Structure 1
Amino acid sequence: MGSIISQKTLFNETIPPLVKVILTFFTALFLEASTFALNDYYDLQIDKINKRTDRPLVRGDIQPKTALYLFYVFFPLGLLCSFFVNMTCFIIALITALLSVLYDAKMKKIKLIGNFYIAYIMAIPFIFGGATVLDYNTISFSGINPAIYTIAFIAFIAGAGREMMKDVMDFEGDKKKGVKSFPKYIGVRKSNIISGLFYILAVILSFIPYLLESFSIYYHNIAYLLIVLITDIILVYVSLQLIFNKSPNMKLFRKLSLVAIFIGLIAFLISAFVNI
């Protein structure tokens, strides 16, 4: 999506060069696959406590050693693909990949830090995509369209809110493992309230592209506004439930927040093609 928006605003084209599209896709695929495999390896015991049957290692579909082998193969392949996009993308991929390993190995038990790492992981793909249109030898972040940074920041804020909700859902298992999460320090109720406030901030930020002329294709674009309002309505509803309901259905509202984020991404994508 970052590639499409940057290509549209800089060159008035919506399709980036095919080679860069392929390399970008495989960079994300390989790096995410490698870090997910490493994450599942380190999380195996706590996932068993939390009954995370959605995880293949918990179900016994693959062995822990297999997850490690997948990491060793996919990790360097992802970095190699990013190198052939351009140097800015390679630097982004390298920093993100190293942070991913550090998170899986060390930061995960300190969720006060880990939550914001996950939020970063939700945001950085947009900046990476926006950087794909830069020249190969260029190392610069100033050439990336400001809309990309706005999308990334909204994703970061919403991601932080979702991770705090996950902390509440995993509280019992985390407590047994000694994981330092927000609910441990400030309680479940306050964690829900902070999560709701993050979503409200994301809603406020979603209006910036529509109101500021510097956002070009989104400025006064009714198509963008109509679709993003759906996201905002869902997030406001979830926020109110988290803030005022003492026993919210966390599983339901976390799923709703994911639906809202997905619709928000659709709003940015469609508006790159449709301007009303």
Structure 2
Amino acid sequence: MATGETIRGLLELTRPMNVVAASVLTFIGGFVAGGVGEAPLHLGAAVGATAFAVGAGNAINDYFDREIDRINQPQRPIPREAVSPRGALAFSLVAFLAAVAFAVTLPPIAIAIAVINLLALITYTEYFKGLPGIGNALVAYLVGSTFLFGAAAVGDVQAAVVLFLLAGVSTLTREIIKDVEDVDGDREEGLNTLPIAIGERLALHIATVLLVVAVVASPFPYLDGYFGVAYLLVVVPADLVMLYAAVESYRNPTAGQSHLKYGMFLAALAFIVGRAALLLT
């Protein structure tokens, strides 16, 4: 019988905040595409599939990363022995199966996105994480694709293409900064991440340029007519937080990537506010 510490450890494996964030992004994708009123059951299934898939992906990531985490993140469930490696693997399998059960109820294009994403989640740590830039790009795609998945679930994937691109670029920036933060443990494990391959400062320069591109592009959803002016009132502060985070990462990558996450959450809120305000006018 599972102890309280084990249950807490299993929950931590999923990264609950990441699960909630990804689920919210899927909801936003469906909301922008009009799914709340037209296809609420499909949108709910998409949110459920996203939640279980992200939780499963994070759990299996911790399974494969358990030796690196003993150096970089010793407080995580497997290094501190709250959950065994075998238990984490079994838990991730159950969560993946739950994600599949939700996904198969959706339209074909949403199922296709789900299949691609599930394969990416399973193979990420073992095959792509240590490749300079490739692993970062894959994670960026996965985050951005939550918008596409939510929109596809309700039948209008085109409505979320711009959101997919903006979220993907912002996430790529954060992933590079995270690799700078983890460079010691990654080097010890023999991984060849972008900061190790080209140097930490050059990697941060690339991350900053990418973020500036995303910030410059952030008004496009308003200009395209998907969001009302309220979107701009929220996305501008989000842009400022993210730009500050990029500058901060040069002296403190840990704080920088954390603040960048806050800016990304604020940007997600801007998508909701902007679409809602447009619908009410």
- For normalisation by structure 2, the TM-score amounts to 0.84
- Cα deviation for residue 235 of structure 1 reads 2.0
- Cα deviation for residue 271 of structure 1 reads 1.3
1:241 to 1:63, Cα distance in 2 relative to 1, 3 A: closer
**Aligned mates of 2:96, 2:134 — CA distance in 1:** 23
Matching residue of 1:122: 143
What is the identity, as a one-letter code, of the residue corresponding to 1:223? Answer: A
The reply to whether residue 216 of structure 1 matches residue 236 of structure 2 is no
Identity %: 27
- How many residues matched? 252
The reply to whether residue 145 of structure 1 matches residue 158 of structure 2 is yes
Matching residue of 1:19: 41
Structure 1 stretches of at least 4 aligned residues deviating more than 4 Å after TM superposition: none
Retained in 2: the 8 A contact 1:46–1:177? yes
**Correspondence 1:1-276 to 2 at 5 A:** 1-7=28-34, 14-53=36-75, 55-134=76-155, 143-146=156-159, 148-211=160-223, 215-218=224-227, 221-242=228-249, 247-275=250-278
- Cα deviation for residue 25 of structure 1 reads 2.1
Please identify, of 232-241 and 161-170, the stretch whose mean Cα deviation from structure 2 is larger: 232-241
**Aligned mates of 1:258, 1:70 — CA distance in 2:** 27
Retained in 1: the 8 A contact 2:245–2:255? no
- Cα deviation for residue 30 of structure 1 reads 1.8
**Aligned mates of 2:195, 2:214 — CA distance in 1:** 22
Q: After superposition, what is the alpha-carbon deviation per residue over 1:73-98, rounded to whole angstroms, capped at 9, x for unaligned? A: 22122122111011111111111111
Unaligned runs of 5+ in 1: 9-13, 135-142
Please identify, of 55-64 and 263-272, the stretch whose mean Cα deviation from structure 2 is larger: 55-64
Retained in 1: the 8 A contact 2:247–2:256? no
What is the identity, as a one-letter code, of the residue corresponding to 1:39? Answer: N
**Aligned mates of 1:22, 1:52 — CA distance in 2:** 36
What is the identity, as a one-letter code, of the residue corresponding to 1:150? Answer: V
SS of match in other structure, 2:53: helix
**Aligned mates of 2:248, 2:86 — CA distance in 1:** 42
**Aligned mates of 1:122, 1:180 — CA distance in 2:** 22
1:217 to 1:124, Cα distance in 2 relative to 1, 3 A: closer
Retained in 2: the 8 A contact 1:4–1:16? no
- Cα deviation for residue 51 of structure 1 reads 3.1
Retained in 2: the 8 A contact 1:119–1:157? yes
- For normalisation by structure 1, the TM-score amounts to 0.86
Q: Between Structure 1 and Structure 2, whose CA radius of gyration is higher?
A: 1
What is the identity, as a one-letter code, of the residue corresponding to 1:4? Answer: F
